[in-house]
Copies of this chain bind each other. A is one copy, B any other.
Amino acid sequence: MRAVPGVSAVDLATAVAQWQTVVGKDWVFTSDADLDPYRDSYSPVRDEKEERHASAVVAPASVEEVQAVVRIANHHRIPLYPISTGRNLTYGGSAPVYSGSVILDLKRMNRILEVSEKNASALVEPGVSYFDLYRYIRDNNLKLWIDCPDPGWGSPLGNALDHGAGYTNTPFKDHFDAHCGMEVVLADGEVMRTGMGALPGAQTWQQFKYGMGPIVDGLFAQSNFGVVTKMGFWLMPQPETALLATVTAPRYADGVRFCDTLISLIYADALKSQTQVVSPVLMGPPDAELGPLLRRWDEGREAALDAYAQRKGVPFWTAPVALYGPQSVVRAQWAYIKERFSAISGATFNEDASYTFPLTDEQVRSVIDKTRAGIPNLAYFASRSSPDAPPLEGHMDFSPIVPMDGKVIVSALELFAKACQELGIAPLGGRPLFYHTRTVTLIYAIPTGRDPTANKKAREAFAKLMDIGAAHGWGEYRIHPEFMDKGVGYYSYNNHALLRFQERLKDAADPNGILSAGRYGIWPKHLRDVAR
């Protein structure tokens, strides 16, 4: 078994034996073979000495077992790293931030504890996946939707805690914002319920977020203040109908207006689902003709790109529009959206699909854009490879948050395109995603793999892109462990006052610093000057 930093072999052996008593011998893993699946397969330091490894895994099946496991770790000062279903690819996967930590794998806690059709909510354990929740709802013919991120194998609870996002309407597409109430096991093994969950017999634990007094829920996201063992969610009631459509604009110069029109529709609450601005020219796979055009930055660039688009018959900008609701309201909204976009000469509108719910099983299979219909799937992974290139081994996502402002968006796209070119990297994506209610996230998937030289180049480029973003006042919303300290480091107002405050709270919540050391830049006291 690998060593755990700061823990003697004797203490570790004692803890392992105690854990085995709690969860059973079958659910404590220490062999390399058993630990291998917990490695970060997208790691940018894969197989290098910097790669972060777990030393063991403990997988409890109940809150009581979590409490006991945590108490044992707290007694022996053993660093734990809780995971839910352990996906989170591009943001670290299952591997601990602090190498040598013991993974607290919560996958066995996979009960759907409650789903209320009337109040459109769910209460789930960490090991429940989007697939599980979808299937439960479908099997029970409940008129509810889930909102899932690209790959549907992850955990609603884990994704919310990492500030993940999806595709349906606000507030559901912002997964942390859609949560309501938690149960948390603290570092000393005590169990706590937040919001209305603290009221015995509460009737609104999954309905009212605040309870009375200060709201502590935010502390448990992107952090290490406790082990979340239950989480409530607001679900979207199944809409009567949906319309999936696409709007386009023909020319490069339409970009600002195209974005600003989308933005004004979002602000006016006329468009509530996740949209994104995709340029088939700028963001598609470059052919032999386009490649050189994309690499020129002279005055003729724009005209050349426009001419290329025209020759190929593709619009310069496109955006998906998904509208959900009663048919008559959806039609009125779509008419209004078309009216607004019609101010751009040459704008086109295509109704890609319309649905009346519920769908039959056959209809479900035929839905192309499944995430926009609340149907979890794994199609995303197929989209990460192309016929012209070897399959993507992994990627890190650079994801700066920029203002919802057409000018800023288009200039940020240019800025990062130039920077990537100078840095010699060719990330996928780079689309402006309207993930959160009032900002745009530009996600650049920077390839990683098994080649240390290429990984080193990817890491250096990643760091450089972060610097460029921060210099413009754009921070990331989420980040790979390899860059957590750096990412959080930009949030430095008044000599890192926010981080120092979070550290004070951390020391109070977890005095021995056993939980997820280093996660999102928060290190326990004894590692604060060492590990960072």
Contacts and interface: CB of A to CB of B under 8 A. Distances in A.
Contact of A478 (B212, B234, B487, B520): B212
A269 B271 CA distance: 12
Interface string A176-197: 1000100000100011111011
A196 B475 contact: yes
Interface in A439-479: 439, 470-479
B199 A490 contact: yes
- A171, A474, A499: which has the most chain B beta carbons within 10 Å? A474
Interface string A495-519: 0011111101101110000000000
A520 to B, nearest CB: 4
A326 B213 CA distance: 38
A69 B135 CA distance: 58
Given A213-B488, A501-B192, A208 B439 contact: yes
Residue among A190, A475, A478 with the most chain B CB within 10 A? A475
A439 to B, nearest CB: 4
Given A203-B472, A214-B220, A505-B508, A120 B498 contact: no
Nearest to A522: B213
Given A192-B497, A505-B508, 17 more contacts: A119-B403, A119-B438, A180-B438, A191-B494, A200-B492, A203-B403, A203-B472, A204-B438, A207-B438, A212-B479, A212-B521, A216-B218, A216-B498, A216-B502, A219-B219, A234-B437, A329-B332
Interface of A: 118-121, 163, 169, 171, 176, 180, 186, 190-194, 196-204, 207-208, 210-223, 225, 234, 237, 239-240, 264, 267-270, 272, 325-326, 328-329, 331-333, 335-336, 401-405, 408, 436-439, 470-479, 487-488, 490-494, 497-502, 504-505, 507-509, 520-522
